[in-house]
Structure 1
Amino acid sequence: MRGRRRRRRRRRRRRRRKIEEETKEEETKEEGEEEEKQKENEERKKEETHLLQQFGHIFVPTGLAALLLVVIHHIGEPSGASLASSARGSSSYRRVELRGLQAPPANVRHILPEN
């Protein structure tokens, strides 16, 4: 009986140790990933503040800038229908009515590069 008990205890101890080691490894990996994410976020914030300091005078709110990008992207289209359909998909544009937009005059089209 003693031999069986010892073996069982050893097996249990080994299993527990393996499980503990695995959990420790996972925790250290998670901590490392969190630290990397924090470093990346800090670097991104530094870059953003640097850009804002340099170009703050021409800073445009993000939503308006995105809307302008969509308009510029679709400026070569013959009608505003595709613009309205693409704008309806994203949440930031749902409140904006774009159905009334028309194609820009011909003299504006040749100034901007077509996609």
Structure 2
Amino acid sequence: MLVNRTPHELHVWETLQTVVQVWRREVGRDLWAEARLSDAEFSVLAHLYLEGVDGVRPSEYARAIGPHLTSARKWFSQAVTPAQLDARGDALDTLADHLALFADGCTVVATGRDQGRSMV
């Protein structure tokens, strides 16, 4: 039973779920087409590289990050205005802080506001 949820809350939550699912699919397709990496392979490679783990060659990371960022721009940042992007960034920072406090096993790796965060 849905208790104490406004229609607006439900709409926003359902829209978020749908948009995230489509983003993951489309970015995954782009990443596979351009770098022959699955979403999971890219995620592991990016985390290892950002954490400075030995054995991750910069060339491997570069092969993956270019297509990933191009896809992120195509499916995300080009669709919104700079003000909308700032507002979403602020909301996501707040959500990341909340997850770090309350989600079991979630660690937020802050790399600076201008550089983003990673959740592991």
Asked if Structure 1 and Structure 2 have the same fold, meaning a TM-score greater than 0.5 normalized by the shorter chain, the answer is no
TM-score normalised per structure 2: 0.31
Rg comparison, structure with higher value? 1
TM-score normalised per structure 1: 0.32
| Higher-helix-fraction structure | 1
